[in-house]
Amino acid sequence: MNTHELLIRYEANELDFVEIGLHQASLKGANLSRINFMRADLSHADLSLADLSGACLNQANLTDADLSGANLVGANLIEVNLIGADLSGADLRGANLCGADLRCANLHDANLSGANLTDVNVNGADLSGANLSNAKLAGTDLSVADTVGAELWAIDCESEECHLTGMSPHWITWSGNRR
């Protein structure tokens, strides 16, 4: 299936595109809210400025994809592969990225407030200027990412498994047991 056919089917209210192959697809600025791209191959795709609010991208391959400025509010990105992806300026408020792989991803100035970032791999990721307020970070090691200028207001670490080496802990809200 090509992008033209996808957009026609989406406009006809079809939302289920599980395991679709759209490697290097150009969907810049497309309205794809609530679409189901579970286990889809969107590697190297241009989804910049796209509306993917409420979308399901669980276990999708978005390696090196361009999602800059995309709307991913409330999207499900559980165990998604975003290695090297550009999410700069993306809106991920309330998104579920549990178990996602964000190695070397660019999340500069991204809004991740209220997002679930439990057990996320952010090794080498750029989170500079990102808003992580009220985010859930249990099992996520932020010490391996660039967090210069990131907002960490009231983040939820659930336990000591939230690694914040070199960061100012007085803005962190802990829930659960702190040993």
Total of domains in the chain? 1
Which tens digit of pLDDT belongs to each residue from 62-119? 999 999 999 999 999 999 999 999 999 999 999 999 999 999 999 999 999 999 999 9
The helix/strand/coil state of 31 is: strand
pLDDT on residue 168: 44
Whether 141 contacts 164, CB under 8 Å: no
CATH number at residue 27: 2.160.20.80
Q: What is the pTM of this model?
A: 0.86
Instruction: List, as own/partner pairs, every contact residues 9-17 make where C-beta atoms lie below 8 angstroms and the sequence separation is at least 24, other chains included.
Output: 10/35
Find the domain containing 80 and state its range: 1-179
